[in-house]
Amino acid sequence: MKKPFYQVDQQELVEELQSNLKTGLSKQQAADRLEADGPNALTAKKKQSLLSKFIDQFKDLMIGILLAAALIAALTGEQTDALFILAIVVINAIFGVFQESKSENAIDALKKMATPKATVIRDGKPEQVPATELVKGDLVSLEAGDVVPADLRLVDVANLRVEEAALTGESVPVEKTDKTLTADKLPLGDQDNLAFMNAHVVYGRALGIVVATGMATEVGQIAGALQGQDETKTPLQENLKSLSKVLTYLILAIAALTFVIGYFTQNMPIIDLILTAISLAVAAIPEGLPAIVTITLALGTARMAKKAALVRKLPAVETLGSTDIIGSDKTGTLTQNKMTVEKVVLNGQIVDLDAENPFDKEELSKAAGILGDIMTLNNDSQLTAEGLVGDPTETALIDFNEKYRPDRLAELRGQERLQEIPFDSERKLMTTIYGAEDAYQVTVKGAPDAVLARVTQVLEDGQVRPFTNDDLAHFQELNGRLADQALRVLAFAEKSLETLPEEAKSEEMETGLTLIGFVAMIDPERPEVKDSVAQAKAAGIRPMMITGDHPQTAAAIAGRLGILDEEDDRAKTVLTGAGLDELSDEQFEQRVEDVKVYARVAPAHKVRIVQAWQQKGKVVAMTGDGVNDAPALKAADIGVAMGITGTEVSKEAADMVLADDNFSTIVTAVKEGRKVFANIQKALQYLLASNLAEVIAIFTMTLLGWEVLAPVMILWINLVTDTMPAIALGLEPAQKNIMQQSPRGKTANFLSGGVGPAIVWQGMLQAALVLSVYAFALAFPDHSGTALVHGDALTMAFMTLGLMQMFNAINVKSVYQSQLNGSAFKNHFFNGALLFSLLAMMAVVVIKPLNPIFHVTNLDPYQWLIVIAASLAIIVIVELVKWVQRTFFNRG
């Protein structure tokens, strides 16, 4: 079996890859290998063609029934009806294709935001090339700030530290080596002589030979495995599928029953019965529903995109609204992803930098100046054109000086470092030596315990005095107090030398030091997140923190944000990855509801957390930015990837991408999702109540032997009423208390919350009013004393049904609340849509050349008065019913 690359020594590696540790590959070798192996890039799933997407829009049983109805209408000579049906179906399909393509284009634009470059040595000369052109055997140079462009076996390392959390879940940069490792089956996180594609170099430099590119890299292998996984069905998709199935069966049953009754009791001709069955199918199917849902979701995605939430899959908008659990990463999402100095210890006391002027006293200002000098001099961060680059801890120290001493900072950064003793994990110290006016200055930075063990003096109130045992106890107590707040503490000390040693050695340079002070830093929480956490909790959503960081740090940030409450028992509410591994699935299922913070977890643990909550019937949103987060993002009901720090693999696996990597954006998206669901419910209630009225009216007309509304009439009503007013309902503003309501859960559907009963009784009411107008028109003479003709009665029923549906759009804005208080007309788009649709509906009767097309007659003012009065009656009656429901049944 071939040895893994971390076990291969450098000479063996060079021979195997036919490379050179000094000159790298020749340009010809690189070109030949690029042609043979292909570019160093991850291959994406093959995109669907526009034609394929268009065809997919027709893979629905209800659409199939409509197409069958169009075919039958065409065969029976009703060409106009057939064309109308086809037009509705095609418009819906175009809407679906357009929105899918729009979403894909947005993601493609996100991918192209940056094309990484790599510094490669070819023919002995360094040059920059696109990372996609790297090949196996290339000799690549790495420096702080670089993104590792391929999988590399490191061959020359100088203090290299690499942040590879995206792949391994390790939250702190990893020290790398160029030594050959001998252990078997090392996990990725322990393969210290390899640097993996997409990892970030935070410190030092190195040379490495490319051992894998593209899909052969560790990142590529995970990406390949993900492409074969099935998508999780969203609640919206499940709801629409169930609804379509129920409606289809009802349509077939009603059409068959009508056919039987008409044939055996009314002796209707076969052609008339077929046309009646078509009318019923057209009446029962909410043709506009797919388009309305798509448009409402698309409008939701547009609003969310403006708020930094890019939705990749339309149904995810609605799923967000049913979210019960949000599992969020800490770094960058809940926090600012920027180490920040929060407190310092000077003159033996803690100074909180939140104060307006923390160094107002002279002795504090002097001590802060000396501390700031050491923070700047004992620092390897680099100022580049792209900004400050280096270890996050060291850049935080420079930021401190930038804030408090910008002029001094510029002066110190120009000084030449004469000697140094680099940091190592055993000493826990870093030492530098600079020239001063009359001596040499030694600066020491390191872990408090390591520095305190080497000091003999302390700076206090501007004077240097001996360091006593009492001082040691005091500073140890201060360190413990800061550590309890999850602050990372560094100690700073200095001393002077009269002569510069030939070589700086620890035993000489790091003794007899003068303690200057401590610096305490943390990656602070985002200021807006605390309110968002409170908002989520008020909405019945449980926010969880899931991080690879230390449990003490995680708990401290969680407490500051309100994820953990003061009364929470940390032993129950904080669980480490090691503790999770010790629990069986049954034990974890019992424990999962107690845990609010997961610390020191690997990304693989996220899948288990997601599945544990899903077993309890909860809708789970999960954030992630790493390659190893991708399986959890795919498993979650809503996978949320980071747009700034996230890898392409995590973005591909996610349903939503946060352009600002901010937890608050998720909560904003949840609010938008709830609004979208509520608006889809309104549109659905409006459409199905209207369609139910049409079905009942046609079925009753058939039973009574009346002339039945023609398919073209039903289609025109549906075209006029199901488009603009229904779309306008998708633009309704959110209810004021929408984020004080509990999540509706997985079992809820579009007919819950009183919507289902409202559809039934409002549909029956509309049918009763339409049939009453029809019967009235047949039974009573008009104002001239002449009996109304049958065509006029059908026209009046047709107009009443159309106008009444539009007036009922006002009613459906709330299941139980009155709409007569003016709130119904705050949506100006709705007002315009309603007016336009009313005029369009009336136009087919008023404009005489259109009368034959729609099988209608021209009505006189008396007939119009009856139609309008009956149509407006729907508002009055529904308002009375709502009042009764509120008053006597405590609804709403």
Nearest in space to 644 (alpha carbons), one of 631, 633, 657, 632: 657
d(Cα 757, Cα 765) in Å, to the nearest integer? 12
- Annotated catalytic residue: which of 192, 324, 329, 373? 329
Q: Which two tokens stand for residue 333?
A: 């999402």
Q: Do residues 234 and 321 lie in contact, with contact meaning Cβ atoms separated by under 8 Å?
A: no
Instruction: Please state the φ and ψ torsions of residue 818, each to the nearest 5 degrees.
Output: -70, 145
Q: Do residues 214 and 39 lie in contact, with contact meaning Cβ atoms separated by under 8 Å?
A: yes
Pairing of strands 542-546, 488-497: unpaired
The 3-state DSSP class for residue 352 equals: strand
856: left (phi over 0), alpha (psi -120 to 50) or beta: beta
Q: Which two tokens stand for residue 171?
A: 């939250």
Instruction: Please state the φ and ψ torsions of residue 340, each to the nearest 5 degrees.
Output: -135, 135
d(Cα 276, Cα 269) in Å, to the nearest integer? 11
d(Cα 644, Cα 641) in Å, to the nearest integer? 9
Angle CA 643–204–196, to nearest 5 = 50
Q: What does the DSSP 8-state code read for residue 77?
A: T
CA distances to 11, 542, 695 from 742, in Å: 64, 11, 36
d(Cα 479, Cα 473) in Å, to the nearest integer? 10
d(Cα 786, Cα 780) in Å, to the nearest integer? 9
Mutual angle of helices 790-811 and 711-721, in 10-degree steps: 20
Instruction: Please state the φ and ψ torsions of residue 135, each to the nearest 5 degrees.
Output: -135, 165
Q: How many residues does the chain have?
A: 892
The 3-state DSSP class for residue 457 equals: strand
d(Cα 549, Cα 468) in Å, to the nearest integer? 35
Pairing of strands 597-599, 574-576: parallel
The 3-state DSSP class for residue 47 equals: coil
Residues in Cβ contact with 464 at an 8 Å cutoff, skipping those fewer than 6 apart = 457, 458, 514
d(Cα 67, Cα 61) in Å, to the nearest integer? 10
**251: exposed, middle or buried (C-beta count within 10 Å: 0-12, 13-18, 19+)?**
buried
d(Cα 108, Cα 519) in Å, to the nearest integer? 44
Q: Which residue has the tokens 């002569």?
A: 499
Provide the residue type at 180 as one letter.
T
Stated as kind and residue range, the H or E segment containing 837 is helix 828-846
d(Cα 725, Cα 126) in Å, to the nearest integer? 64
Active site residue 484: no
Handedness of CA 112, 117, 118, 123 (dihedral sign): positive
Handedness of CA 874, 879, 881, 882 (dihedral sign): positive
The residues with which 352 forms a beta bridge, in sequence order, are 343
Residues in Cβ contact with 414 at an 8 Å cutoff, skipping those fewer than 6 apart = none
Q: What does the DSSP 8-state code read for residue 198?
A: T
Q: Which two tokens stand for residue 410?
A: 């510029």
The residues assigned a catalytic role are 329
